[in-house]
C-alpha cells in the first residue's frame, strides 16, 4: 500500500506540474503589460513638453515626436482594452484536466496489468532466507532422475556391434564389483549413450571403490553425470560431490560451475555470478564448464543488478598461414601425414582437456575427410554425452557428423 501511495502521489505531482502553466491568467498579464506600456508613452509625452520649454527641441521637432508617441500610445491603449472571451480558456482548462486524469489512469492500469500490485516487500535478508529454504527442500538425486526420465532424450546413432558391446559390459561388470577399469568403462559408455542415470550409478560405484585415493577427474565426471541425469538440476548429492572437489582443489572449474548453477536455480543470481565469473576468468575456452558459464552469466548478472559483458573470445586454434603455405608445396603423402598429425593433436587435447563445440565439429569433419568414419562415429557418440542438454552445441556437431556420414 505504501508503494501505491508514493507512486500515485508522484504521478499526480508530475501531471500537475506539466498542466499548471495552462491555468495561468494570460489575459490579466497581457492587460497589465499593456497598461505599463501606456504609462511609458505618457511619460514620454510629458518629457517632450519639458524639452520644448527648455528649448532643447524646436516646435517642428516636438510636433513630430508628439505625433509618433501619440500613435504608439493609442495602439497600446487599444491592445489593453481588448478582451478575449472566456470560452476558449475554459475549454482548454477542461481538456487539460481530462488529459491529466487519463494519463494517471492509464499509468495505474498499466501497472495493474504488467506489475504485481499485491506483492509484498522482499528485502535482501528475506531473499537470502528464501533461497536457503529452496536449497534445503530440493529434490533428491533419485527423485530428480525419475522426473528426468519422462523427458525426451536425443536419439543416439550407434552401430549394432557397439550397442552389443555395451550390453556385455552391463552384464559382466556387476559380477566384478572390484574391477575399477570395468566400472570406469561402463560409466563412460553409458554416458555416451545418454544413459546418464546409469552412468552416474556406475561412476559413483567407482568412486566408492577407490575411496580416499579417488582422483579429482573421477569426481568431476561423477558431478557431470549426476547433473546430466537430472536434466541440469543440481541436487544435494551433486552439491556434496562438488564441495568434496573444492575441499581438494579450491579453484576447480567444474565444481565452481555446478555450485554457481545451484545458486542460479535457487534465486541467488548474485552468488551464481561471482562463481561463474571466477570460472570464466580462471578457466580456458576449451573447458566445457567455461562455455556453459559463458552461456548463462550475463543473465545472472542482469538478475543480480550487475553490469557485465563477456570478454571477447580468442580465435579458435588452427594451422598458421605459414603452415598452410608449406602444405601447398607438399606432396600428397606429406599433406596427409601433416593432417593426420593435426587431427591426432586435436583429438588428444579434446580427450584430455575438453574443447568447444566448434573444435569437436572440426575434428569430426577432419576424420570424415580422411575417410576414418569409425573414429568419426566414436567422436560423435562421445560428443553427445559431453554436450548433453546443450541443444545449440549438439546441432552444430550433428551437422559435422552428418557431413562425415556418421549421423542421420
H or E segment and range at residue 266:
none
Q: Along the 408 residues of the chain, how does pLDDT read in single tens digits?
A: 566 677 777 777 877 776 666 665 545 544 455 456 667 767 777 887 787 777 777 777 777 887 887 777 677 666 655 544 444 666 666 777 777 777 777 877 777 776 666 666 556 666 777 777 888 888 999 999 999 888 776 667 778 888 899 999 999 999 999 999 999 999 988 888 888 999 999 999 999 999 989 999 999 999 999 998 998 899 999 999 999 999 999 999 999 999 999 999 998 999 999 999 999 999 887 788 988 898 899 999 998 889 988 876 544 444 444 554 555 555 555 556 666 666 777 777 776 667 788 888 888 877 776 777 778 888 888 888 788 778 778 888 888 888 777 776
For 138, left (φ over 0), alpha (ψ -120 to 50), or beta?
Answer: beta
Could you tell me the residue ranges of all domains in the chain? 2-114, 131-304, 321-404
Identical fold, 131-304 and 321-404: yes
Those residues with Cβ within 8 angstroms of residue 223's Cβ, 6 or more apart along the chain or in another chain: 238, 241, 242, 245, 254, 255, 258
| Measured distance CA(367)–CA(21) in Å, rounded | 77
| Measured distance CA(220)–CA(28) in Å, rounded | 84
Domain 131-304 carries which CATH code? 1.25.40.10
**CATH for 321-404, options being 1.25.40, 1.10.3470, 3.10.350, 3.30.300:** 1.25.40
Question: What local confidence, expressed as pLDDT, does residue 322 receive?
Answer: 52
| Measured distance CA(269)–CA(242) in Å, rounded | 18
Question: What local confidence, expressed as pLDDT, does residue 260 receive?
Answer: 94
Question: What local confidence, expressed as pLDDT, does residue 3 receive?
Answer: 64
Q: What values do phi and psi take at 194, rounded to 5?
A: 60, 25
| Measured distance CA(268)–CA(61) in Å, rounded | 90
Coil, strand or helix at 115? coil
Q: What values do phi and psi take at 356, rounded to 5?
A: -80, 160
Cβ neighbours around 43 below 10 Å, total:
10
Using an 8 Å Cβ cutoff, are 57 and 51 in contact? yes
Question: What local confidence, expressed as pLDDT, does residue 368 receive?
Answer: 75
Question: What local confidence, expressed as pLDDT, does residue 48 receive?
Answer: 74
Question: What local confidence, expressed as pLDDT, does residue 81 receive?
Answer: 53
Question: What local confidence, expressed as pLDDT, does residue 277 receive?
Answer: 93
What pTM value is reported for the model? 0.55
**Cα–Cα–Cα angle for 199, 204, 210, rounded to 5 degrees:** 125
Amino acid at each position: 500500500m505504501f508503494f501505491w501511495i508514493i507512486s500515485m502521489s508522484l504521478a499526480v505531482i508530475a501531471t500537475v506540474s506539466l498542466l499548471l502553466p495552462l491555468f495561468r491568467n494570460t489575459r490579466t498579464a497581457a492587460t497589465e503589460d499593456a497598461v505599463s506600456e501606456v504609462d511609458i508613452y505618457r511619460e514620454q509625452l510629458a518629457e517632450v513638453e519639458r524639452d520644448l520649454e527648455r528649448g532643447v527641441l524646436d516646435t517642428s521637432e516636438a510636433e513630430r515626436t508628439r505625433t509618433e508617441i501619440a500613435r504608439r500610445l493609442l495602439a497600446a491603449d487599444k491592445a489593453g482594452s481588448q478582451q478575449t472571451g472566456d470560452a476558449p480558456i475554459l475549454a482548454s482548462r477542461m481538456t487539460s484536466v481530462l488529459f491529466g486524469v487519463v494519463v494517471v489512469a492509464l499509468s495505474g492500469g498499466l501497472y495493474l496489468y504488467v506489475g504485481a500490485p499485491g506483492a509484498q516487500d522482499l528485502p535482501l535478508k528475506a531473499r537470502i532466507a528464501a533461497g536457503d529454504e529452496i536449497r534445503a527442500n530440493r529434490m533428491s538425486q533419485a527423485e530428480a532422475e525419475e522426473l528426468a526420465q519422462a523427458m525426451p532424450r536425443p536419439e543416439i546413432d550407434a552401430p549394432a556391434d557397439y550397442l552389443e558391446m555395451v550390453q556385455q559390459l552391463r552384464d559382466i561388470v556387476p559380477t566384478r564389483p572390484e574391477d575399477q577399469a570395468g566400472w570406469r568403462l561402463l560409466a563412460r559408455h553409458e554416458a555416451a549413450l545418454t544413459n546418464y542415470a546409469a552412468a552416474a550409478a556406475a561412476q559413483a560405484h567407482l568412486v566408492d571403490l577407490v575411496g580416499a585415493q579417488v582422483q579429482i577427474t573421477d569426481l568431476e565426471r561423477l558431478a557431470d553425470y549426476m547433473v546430466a541425469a537430472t536434466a541440469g538440476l543440481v541436487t544435494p548429492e551433486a552439491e556434496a560431490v562438488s564441495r568434496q572437489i573444492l575441499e581438494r582443489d579450491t579453484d576447480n572449474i567444474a565444481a565452481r560451475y555446478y555450485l554457481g548453477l545451484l545458486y542460479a536455480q535457487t534465486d541467488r543470481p548474485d552468488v551464481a555470478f561471482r562463481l561463474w565469473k571466477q570460472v570464466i576468468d580462471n578457466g580456458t575456452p576449451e573447458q566445457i564448464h567455461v562455455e556453459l558459464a559463458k552461456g548463462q552469466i550475463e543473465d545472472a548478472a542482469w538478475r543480480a543488478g550487475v553490469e557485465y559483458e563477456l570478454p571477447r573470445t580468442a580465435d579458435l586454434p588452427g594451422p598458421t598461414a605459414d603452415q598452410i603455405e608449406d602444405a601447398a608445396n607438399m606432396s600428397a603423402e606429406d599433406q596427409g601425414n601433416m593432417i593426420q598429425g593435426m587431427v591426432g593433436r586435436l583429438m588428444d587435447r579434446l580427450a584430455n582437456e575438453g574443447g568447444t563445440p566448434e573444435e569437436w565439429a572440426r575434428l569430426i569433419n577432419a576424420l570424415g575427410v580422411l575417410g576414418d568414419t569409425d573414429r568419426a562415429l566414436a567422436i560423435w557418440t562421445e560428443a553427445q554425452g559431453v554436450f548433453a542438454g546443450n541443444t545449440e552445441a549438439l546441432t552444430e556437431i550433428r551437422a559435422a557428423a552428418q557431413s562425415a556420414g556418421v549421423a542421420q
